[in-house]
Every structure is written in structure tokens, then in C-alpha cells.
Amino acid sequence: MEPVRSPRNQRVAAAVRLRRARERKARGLTLLEGPNLLEAAVHRAASLEVVFALEDDEHTAGLVATADLELVTVTREVLERIAPSQHPRGPVAIMRIPPDRQIEHRNALVLYGVGDPGNAGTLIRSAAAFGFDVLFGQGSADPWNPKVLRSGAGAHFSVSIETGAADPADLHSRGYTTVASIVSGTTPVSQIDTSASVAVYVGEEARGLPAEIVEACDGTVTIPMDSALESLNASVAGSILMYELSTRADSDTPAPG
């Protein structure tokens, strides 16, 4: 079959519109880009509508055939038109955005005002590595933004992702100990009680968490660091906190027998 050569092709134009947040929300669809992300989506049985790939992309053709998905071959020009990034490797797939999965039972990271897609995706990836679920609260990036998906590198399919108000009182009523991360002057992460599930709040880099969120949490936590540094990147800070809490939880688990 001849590849699609025109960016004005109806299906191509519909895919291109998914680069806009309003269109994604209205249609409940988003874009996945890259071979690793597509493989992760297929292996986790994500709902994929169609896959766009270059004519000579044999790896994608084989994967799509195995998963019984629809493949549309396109020219390089058309692929670059569809893809969210500037220099796409391909393929690009249209995926149905899955419903929220409420966080429960295990530790959670709460993003509050983390609007940068790169930071948001990296935090999802770290959450998957350290056994956390993720709640996207007020002012945070859309977790299914193509840039967030790309930064998450497939981790979206390994964690529960919830979006909502991120009210500490609500999480407390679900059995979480809520902890706000702040820059200095409070409990080191090594002293946080991990006997119950912990929900750690991470805020926007420049301003941090709002005072009302900090006050509503059960406690606060600080990452000790050299006084010459004002703060850490949000994704770095969140990743360190999750790592520390996961290792503490492991050490607090009684040995078998």
C-alpha cells in the first residue's frame, strides 16, 4: 500500500489536531510517540486507535501486526507533521486516554502546581521505579499530554494515575499520612513514619506549595542539602523523596519467619 503523502489527508489532519489540549480533552484521545513508548502501550494492552509509521519501519509493522492494530504508513513529511516533537523517530499512535485509577493502598506522590511536562513525566517514571502511585492536583500538567508521556517513557502504564483536587483532608480520610515537601526548617525525610501509606506533596519549583496546603498536611519534610543551594528541581526532589521513603518502608518490613 502506498504511504500517505499529503498532510491534508483527513486522518492525518485529525491526528495533528490532537497536539492541542482542547482537542485531546474533547475527543478523549492523545498521541504516543516513539518505538519504546508504543511497545509499552501494546504490552500493557492500552487502547490504541491507529499507528502511523514510515514505510520502511519494519519493527513497528511487526509489532502492529502481532497486536492486530491498524497501521497507516506515511512519508517523513507527514510523520513530522503529526508528531508532537520536532525531530520524530516515529512511530506515532493515537491512544484512547484511560480513565483515572484512584490511588490507594500504597505510597503516592501528589503533584501540586507542577506544570512542566518534562518534570511531570520524569516524576511518573520515578514513581513507577519506587512503587508509588501519582495524583495530579491543581495547576499540574495534563498527565496524558504527549510530552508528559514521552518523558514518562512507558511508566504511565505501571502506576495508578488520578487527577483531582488533591485535598490533604480527603487523602487523610483514605488512610494516607500527608506530607508536604518544603525547602528547609523541618523534618528530614529519614524521620518520616512509613508504617502507614504516605502521600508526599511536591509543588511548583519557583514558589513551592501554597501555605494552605502545607498547613493542611499532617507533616512536612525537607531534603537536607548544602546551604548554598536554594532548592532542587521538582523532579529531582520528588524522586529523592520517593527513593528515601521506599527504602525506609522496605527496612521497616518485618523479616519472614
pTM of the predicted model as reported, rounded to 2 decimal places? 0.91
End-to-end CA distance of the chain: 63
Rounded Cα–Cα distance for residues 148 and 113 (Å): 15
Q: Which of 77, 204, 67 is nearest to 140 (CA)?
A: 204
| pLDDT tens-place string over residues 17-75 | 999 999 999 999 999 999 999 999 999 999 999 999 999 999 999 999 999 999 999 99
Query: 50 phi and psi, to 5 degrees?
Result: -165, 155
| pLDDT tens-place string over residues 235-257 | 999 999 999 998 875 555 544 44
pLDDT > 90? residue 166? yes
In sequence order, which residues have a C-beta less than 8 Å from that of residue 55 and are 6 or more positions away? 3, 73, 74, 75
pLDDT, position 230: 67
Q: What share of the chain in percent tops pLDDT 90?
A: 77
226, with CB counted inside 10 A (0-12, 13-18, 19+), is: exposed
Averaged pLDDT score across all residues of the chain: 91
**Cell match 493542611: residue?**
216
